[in-house]
Structure formats: C-alpha cells, structure tokens
Amino acid sequence: MYAPARRYLMSQSQLLSEPFAGIANDLLAAGAIQFGEHRLKIHRTRPDLPLSPHYFNCRSVAHPGGEGRVTPELVERIATLMVGSTIDAEAFDCLFAVPDGATPYAEELGHILGIPVIRLTKRKNADGTTCVDGIEGDVSALRGRRALGIEDVVTSAASSMEAVTVMTRHSFRVSDIVCVVDRQQGGYQRLFEQNLRLRPLFTFRDLLDHFHAGKQIDRLKYETCIAYHAESQNL
C-alpha cells in the first residue's frame, strides 16, 4: 500500500548522508541546481504563475538542447545510487525514459541492470510545448512485461503520465516511476491518484534542508523557497 500523498508532501526530510550528500553537492556545483528566480516549462502555458525561486536541471551535458549540466560520470553515479536505494531490480523486466531528459539515466540503468530500455517519441504542439506520443521501434516481443519509468525532474508529473499512457496503450504493466528530483509540486499526488508510485532519489525538501544546513544557501533563500512551495504545491 502506497504512503498517503498528503503525508509525503508535508513531511520534513532528514539530513542527507553519504553518498546522497556528495551527489547533491556535485549537482549544486555543476549548476544543475540553482537558486534565484526562474521560469519553468509550465510558464509557457501559465505565464501568470509566480517565478520559481529555484531550478533543477538534471539533463546530461550531452542533451540535444545543449543546456544540460550533468556529466556522464555523475549520471553513472546517480544511476548506481538509484539501483542501490530506490529500485528493486527483480521487480521489472524493462525500463522506459520520459524523453528526453531521463534518457541517459535509463540507458545507464539498463546497462547496470542488464534489461532493455524502451525509447519513447514526442511531438511538438502548436503552442511550443511537447508531449509524449509513441514508442520507437518494434517492441512487440516485450509487451505485457513489467516496465519501470525513469524521469529526471518531476513537477506536475504531466510528462510522466503521458509516458505511462503510451506504455499502457502498448500493453506494458507500469506501477512505479523513479526520478532524480521530485519538486513536490503535485506530481506525487497525481501519480498516487492513478495508483502509480513515485520513488525519488531526492525531494525538494531533502535538497533544501541539506543546502541550508551546510550554509550553501542563506536563511532568506531557504524561507523564500518554503513560502513558494506552500503556495504552489499543485502546479
């Protein structure tokens, strides 16, 4: 039985221990985590929303858009930690990545676990946004298998839900999504309502408390982030 979503959203995190703390610090040093006013993907369709006081960019430096921050070495460390802490390797037969940011993590996980990685396709909408719309290649031999979803950053979980819809349409069984960072702004709740479990390596609160305790962000930035989340938990 999944933990109640409300309790998850309101919980206080524990201070990070190694190797979680080291990876969090390296993400901050690489610019994958930033503090200051930022526009999010959701602002394309909802420009009236307040700007986010923090930004998570966990895309690989090899990302086609050229804006990724995470090195291949850090992708490998993150995937290895996922296997050791959030993934039951025996529970899944294949992986799928929410394109494109999660693709390097899924490929590394597929290599570590020795299971296939299914590639999803997406299309561009008239308003400039994109949506997941299909599967690349012939996957008929894998249909009916247990598939684990991989995401880099989850906010509203809209992209994750699109990916799950495509996978279930092709007869895959999906119960879990693993992500690098959960921003804790509605994604867990939306997935929970569809009987899907979000299993993040880090939550927003994990990282915020860690950076504040380590004096990597000051009290003002910390309180600004807390206030923003109190007002925008469900984007």
Q: What is the mean pLDDT of residues 44-57?
A: 87
pLDDT at 33 over 90: yes
Residue 7 pLDDT class (50, 70, 90 cuts): very low
Domain boundaries, the chain: 15-231
- In tens, the pLDDT along 166-200 reads 999 999 999 999 999 999 989 999 999 999 999 99
pTM of the model: 0.90
Residue 207 pLDDT class (50, 70, 90 cuts): very high
- What pLDDT does 10 receive? 46
- What pLDDT does 48 receive? 84
Q: CA–CA separation, 66 vs 74, rounded Å?
A: 17
* Cα–Cα distance list, 69 to 30, 92, 121, 144, 185 (Å): 6, 29, 23, 35, 22
pLDDT at 124 over 90: no
- What pLDDT does 168 receive? 96
- In tens, the pLDDT along 52-88 reads 999 999 999 987 777 899 999 999 999 999 999 999 8
Q: What is the mean pLDDT of residues 20-38?
A: 96
Q: How much is the mean pLDDT over the chain? A: 90
- What pLDDT does 46 receive? 78
Under 8 Å between Cβ of 180 and 201: yes
Q: What is the CATH number of domain 15-231?
A: 3.40.50.2020
